[in-house]
Structure 1
């Protein structure tokens, strides 16, 4: 299956059954134990990113692109901290939900700004580009293209998360437990950290901070890289 097909699958999934599933997971309503575990893991990753940016004491001065924003789990709190946020997602339903959640908090504010776009159609320059929980839907060659393109939009920093390709996770994926459930998700691709670092370095970025979120059903390696 080629990368174009993967993109179509992602778009269709998050505009249909996937939207309902992940809207619940990223919300605060009642969910099953597996979904609660994933919600907890995702929130830990979001909290780590926000913590990193707040520790630098200049968040309110930053322009941030949240590429693959989902329902706004990261975009909205970043905007509430004063950052200027441009958020996009391939799924129109996800973007609509993110806008609804944003309006409840910010009324008629234009920050964050939301748009329905895939990564390749993004344009502009941002101090920081963030791509959270997107690369898992794409094979390594497509992930390399995405990372390179996102690097071209980042003036100073890029933050990425991905499911690391380790022996444990490869076995877990093989036995079908990586994302349990009949409507689990698109294909789940694992990526070697060395490959991600290599493509970052090829585009002039050096890893500065890293973290790992690990729950029972959520595994996310987080890298922050800055321009050399």
Structure 2
């Protein structure tokens, strides 16, 4: 199956059965143990990014693109902290949910759009892309990283499921994303390859982190201009 097919699968999944599942996971309502574990892991990744950005003490007025914003878990707190945030997602339903969550806050510095990653344009101080690359194979991810790089002036933050022997084995036996309502195919990515792509675009790794729960695995890299 081609990379274009992967994008179609992602869009259709998150506009259909996947929307209700992941809206619950990213919310605060009752979920099963696996979903709670994934919620915890995802929130840890979001919290790490927020901590990094807040530690720099320059969020107010900073332009940030949240590519693949989901229900706004990162975009909304960034806007609340004073950043100028442009948020996009391939799923119309996800963007609709994010807008609903943000509506009560009346945030004038937060804009949402239904758009796939490759269609994004503009220039931003910081570009963030969390839990998106897992849906795409390495060759497609390389193109995505290069495009995100072209949008970022000073910083690019990415998360991906790392390709290690341990996680590869888990994936093969079906434990990586368990359950009948699993999302799209989960792709693992070599950290060395991701770093190589970033370096080829003029970036160096500034900070990194690893989030690991029972069912959620995410490597987080912050790249800055050399």
Is the structural similarity TM-score above 0.5? Answer: yes
Residue of structure 2 in register with 1:220 after alignment = 218
Is 1:161 paired with 2:159? yes
What is the match of residue 86 of structure 1? Answer: 86
Please give the secondary structure, in 1, of the residue aligned with 2:60.
helix
Aligned-residue CA RMSD (Å): 0.6
Deviations 1:164-207 (A, max 9, x none): 00111000000001111101100000000000000000111100
Q: Does 1:42 align with 2:42?
A: yes
CA distance in 1, matches of 2:143, 2:69: 19
Question: Quick one: distance in 2 between partners of 1:5 and 1:110?
Answer: 36
Deviation at 1:111, TM superposition (A): 2.4
Other-structure match for 1:7: 7
User: CA offset at residue 112 of structure 1?
Assistant: 1.3
Residue 201 (structure 1) aligns with: 199
Distance of 1:76 and 1:179 partners within structure 2: 27
CA–CA distance in structure 2, aligned partners of residues 15 and 55 of structure 1: 35
1:46-90: CA deviations, max 9, x gaps? 000000001001011310000000000000010010010000000
| 1:151 aligns to 2:128 (yes or no) | no
Aligned partner of 2:115 in structure 1 is 117
Q: What's 1:21 paired with?
A: 21
Where 2:57 maps in the other structure, the secondary structure is coil
Q: For structure 1, which runs of at least 5 residues remain unmatched after alignment? A: none
Q: Determine the C-alpha separation between the residues in 2 that align with 1:71 and 1:63.
A: 19
Who is 2:96 aligned against? 96
Say yes or no: does 1:73 pair with 2:92.
no
Report which stretch shifted further, 185-194 or 57-66: 57-66
CA deviation string 1:138-167 (max 9, x = no partner): 000000000000000000000000000011
List 4+ stretches of structure 1 deviating above 3 A: none
TM-score, length-normalised on structure 1? 0.98
What is aligned with 1:177? Answer: 175
Q: Distance in 1 between matches of 2:214 and 2:196?
A: 29
